[in-house]
Each structure stands twice: as C-alpha cells, then as structure tokens.
Amino acid sequence: MHKKEYGQETNKTIKITGRYIVVFLFIFIFLIAGCPLGFARSQGDVPCIWNGIDKIIAIGDLHGDYENFIIILKGTFLVNEDLNWIGGKTHLVQTGDVLDRGPNARKIFDLLKKLEKEAKSAGGKVHMLLGNHEEMNIVGIAMGGPGYVPVEQFISFLTEDFRDKHEKKIREKFIRKNNGEDSDNGLLEAELKQYWQNYIKTHKKSAEEAYFVGFNELYGDWLLEHDVVIKINDIVFSHGGISEKFSKWDLEKINERYREELIEFRRAWWPGVQPAIQRPEFVYNPQSPMWYRELALGGEEEFEQTVDRILVNLKARYIVIAHTPRLAHIQSRFGDRVWLIDTGISRVYGGNATALVIEDGKFSPWEFIQ
C-alpha cells in the first residue's frame, strides 16, 4: 500500500515538475526570442515611407469578417476569383484591427500574408498596420475585454498540440456515436465549440495562457514586423490617428519605439516578469497612434489649427484613419484633409463593406451595399 501511494505521489510530482520545466523552457525561449535585442535586427529594416505611388486602396477595421474582406478585395480588383493578387503596383493599406469581435481573423491574416508576397512580386505592396486590438492580443490582455475574443477566434489561434490534446476524446466519442464515421454537417464543430466555451469559463487562467502562447507563437513575430504608421506620397496612414505631440516624431522613431514596447510588454505577460520599459510612450496610451480619436471626434472649428500643425509636422497633406466607426459611409473632415474609413465593415457592427481608393491624387470612396 505504501509503495503504491509513494509511486502515485512520485508520478504526480514528476508530472508537476515536468510541467514547470516546460513552462520554464518556454519562458526562457520566449524571453530570448521576444526581447528587444532579439528583434533588433529587423527594426531598422522595416520601411515606413514610400513615394511615387500611383494607386492606393485603404481598408479600415475588419474585426474578423473574412467574407466582407473578400468582397472588398474583389470589388476593387485587387484579387481574382482564386484570391490571387491582380492589383499590379497598387499599394493596399489595411489600417489595423483585423482581430476580435468577429470569428475569422486568422483567415484574414493568412490571406494577407499570401498577398504580401504576391503583391511584392508584382511591384505592388500590402501594408497591414497594427491597431489597438493587435496590441491587446500581442501583449496578452485581449481576453479580458468584453466580448473581444469570440470562441471561434480563440480556437483558431491555439497551438495544434494543445487543441488536439483537448479535442481527441470528443472526436473519438463522436465518431463512435456515428458508427465510425466523421460528420461534415457541423454537429461535431458545434460540440467542439461548446466544449471550448465551457473551458474558457471554467479554466480562465489556463485558457488565457493557451491563447497567449498560441497567438504569439503563430503570428506574434510576424505582426511585429509591421508598422503602426506609414506615409505614402503625401498621405499618412495610421489606425487611430496622430496627435500633435507625436506628429513631431519621425515616423521611423514612432514605429521603432512602438515595436520595442510591444516586445517588452509581451515578454512581461508572464507572472513575476517586469517590463524593462516602465513608462511606455505608446502601449496603453490613449494618445498613441493606435488609440487616438481626436481627429475623428474633435470639433472641426476648435481643432482645425491643431490639424494644420499636425500636417505641417508630418510634412503631409492628408491623414487616413480608422478606429472610430462611422456606420454609414467613408467620411472626410477638415476640408477633406482627414479621411475616416472605419465603416463598421464587420457584420458584428452591421456596417458596409467599403474602401478608399486613392488614384492620381484623387480620393474616391468605394462601397458595397448589401
């Protein structure tokens, strides 16, 4: 009896010890791969300014709506029926917030990654900017937001090993129940979805950890290769906008500093790890280009001179932003110098699939009304 109890306790200890070793090794690897020094080689290689571009198409917040994204890409002649790039030398700018609320952010990411390569080969360019929802997912706080991470998004970013481990018994039971055959009518998917919904509720901490690890392992480093603000010709693009304070910064400096902070706060997600940057300039800052709203909400008369100074500082004539939804149509402010392109494209908002087409200096909203 004692031997059996000792053996059981020993096995339990080994499992616990092994778990901590795995967690320690992951943290060690994560710290090495995710610290600013580990990413420094790429920071100086990420351009953010382009000139002489004839055609630009800008798309606002997608929030997981893959279907409307496809409608826009096809409607603006950027892809064909096979979703291959046909936009030639066009620059596509997606201004962030691919993530959260809607179910299919990962499918959008995968398509954007594919189109990045195809557009480059054709002489064009795909720019996916980071929005505040990308920020929240990279640093590991998105699951704390109200309804930010739907269960479909949660499942899609889990690592394959973690997901298989949890779904194995459910799948086996389902196949036995169906006489050895899998099902393609959605019943299995519904059972799995219900399992994960319960798991998120009953294992909150484990669910957050699994999601954070999976998301950053699959897409974190790729996202960190992207900018938060860019300038094409005389037009500045960012998710939320540029405040007067940050308009005085070089765009390269904004992107580099943002990247450093995101890497550092991602590293500090783990308990007991303190970020080396104690006072971030950008992360969590409502005045940063990911969160700023005054260009969308500020009174035009009171704010006009500020907009003048911002544009002078940026050496730009126009700013294109998203982040603050306009559920009807793309709108312009301050004498067509500030363009708002977040029209609630995702079906969770009920807005329209829209894009801003900029060709030969002319701004033309494109809209698909369902």
Pick the closest to residue 357 from 73, 133, 49, 33 (CA basis).
Answer: 73
Q: How confident is the model at residue 181 (pLDDT cuts 50, 70, 90)?
A: low
Per-residue model confidence as pLDDT tens digits over 232-245: 999 999 999 999 99
DSSP, collapsed to helix, strand or coil, labels residue 332 as strand
Exposed e or buried b for every residue in 311-328, given b needs 16+ CB within 10 A?
A: beebebebbbbbbbbbee
Average pLDDT of 289-317?
97
Average pLDDT over residues 238-266: 97
Domain boundaries, the chain: 1-31, 47-368
User: 127 pLDDT exceeds 90?
Assistant: yes
Classify burial at 257, counting beta carbons within 10 Å of its beta carbon; exposed 0-12, middle 13-18, buried 19 or more: buried
- The set of long-range contacts for 48-51, using a CB threshold of 8 Å and a minimum separation of 24, is 48/227, 48/229, 48/230, 48/231, 48/251, 48/252, 48/255, 49/230, 49/231, 49/232, 49/251, 49/252, 50/91, 50/125, 50/230, 50/231, 50/232, 50/233, 51/232, 51/233
Strands 318-321 and 338-340, by their bridges, are parallel
The region of weakest confidence among 22-26, 113-117, 126-130, 194-198 is 22-26
Strand 353-359 vs strand 338-340: parallel, antiparallel, or unpaired?
unpaired
Residue type (1 letter), 318: Y
* Predicted local distance difference test score (pLDDT) of residue 44: 52
Fold of 47-368: Purple Acid Phosphatase; chain A, domain 2 (3.60.21)
- pLDDT tens, residue by residue, 136-176: 999 999 999 999 999 999 999 999 999 999 999 888 888 88
Mean pLDDT of 173-188: 74
Mean pLDDT for the chain overall: 88
Which percentage of the chain shows pLDDT scores above 70?
86
- Burial classification of residue 284, based on how many CB atoms lie within 10 Å of its CB (0-12 exposed, 13-18 middle, 19 or more buried): middle
Other Cβ atoms within 10 Å of 329 Cβ, number: 14
β-partners of residue 321 are 340
Q: Residue 294: what are its φ and ψ, rounded to 5°?
A: -65, -30
Q: With beta carbons less than 8 A apart as the criterion, state whether 363 and 320 touch.
A: no
Backbone angles phi, psi at 85, to 5 degrees: -65, 125
Euclidean distance between CA atoms 216 and 253, whole angstroms: 24
Mean pLDDT over residues 5-25, rounded?
Answer: 44
Quote the pLDDT of residue 34: 41
Token pair for 250: 């070089």
| pLDDT tens string 325-354 | 988 899 999 999 999 999 999 999 988 899
Burial of 330: CB neighbours in 10 Å, binned 0-12, 13-18, 19+? buried
Q: pTM of the entire structure?
A: 0.86
Closest residue by Cα to residue 220 from 283, 273, 262, 256: 262
Rounded to whole angstroms, what are the CA distances from 236 to 10, 332, 357?
61, 14, 15
The pLDDT score that the predictor gives to residue 327 is 80
Average pLDDT for 177-189: 72
Q: Which two tokens stand for residue 167?
A: 């779904």
Mean pLDDT score, 238-267: 97
User: Which range, 35-39, 105-109, 326-330, is most confident?
Assistant: 105-109
Asked if residue 14 has pLDDT above 80, the reply is: no
Average pLDDT over residues 288-303: 96
